[in-house]
Amino acid sequence: MRLYEKIMQHLDFLESLKEATVALGRASQKEDINLIELITDNRDRLINVIKTFQSGIEEDIAKIKGSTSTPDLIEILKTWSDEVNEIIQSVDEYDKQITSSLEAQKFETSKEIGSVFRNKNSIKNYQSNVVKG
């Protein structure tokens, strides 16, 4: 596969990662744990594919000799680098929002569990006092 084709496929995978991240954000807002788990697993696999592709591209770039590089090739590589950075920054922002949302849900769940535990103890104490009384 030619370098240009690898770069295009790599960018397609990165766009898919961005889409998966947006879907993960929606799932976290809906508090759909099963969907969150499914998307997270798929995202992890996609990240591994992206890493493999990126390593291959970087190896191909390292093999380019100064005499064979053209202004067009240099422009393609600069554009690729810029697009990769832009997508990664976008995904990183989504990840921060998702993490914050999930942390808030975790906090609320912990509060609910604590409340249920306190209510359970109150009922036990009440029942104990009624039996003794």
pLDDT tens series, the chain, 133 aa: 699 999 999 999 999 999 999 999 999 989 888 999 999 999 999 999 999 999 999 999 998 887 778 889 889 999 999 999 999 999 999 999 999 988 888 888 887 787 777 777 777 666 666 666 5
Give me the residue spans of the domains in the chain: 3-101
Q: What pLDDT, on the 0 to 100 scale, is given for residue 68? A: 77
d(CA 36, CA 45): 14
Q: What pLDDT, on the 0 to 100 scale, is given for residue 116? A: 77
Q: Where are the alpha helices (DSSP H) in the chain?
A: 3-30, 33-63, 71-132
Q: What pLDDT, on the 0 to 100 scale, is given for residue 113? A: 82
Q: Is the dihedral of CA 7, 9, 14, 18 positive or negative?
A: positive
Burial of residue 21, with CB atoms counted within 10 A of its CB: 0-12 exposed, 13-18 middle, 19 or more buried: buried
Q: What pLDDT, on the 0 to 100 scale, is given for residue 133? A: 57
- The identity of residue 97, as a single letter, is Q
User: Is the pTM higher than 0.75?
Assistant: yes
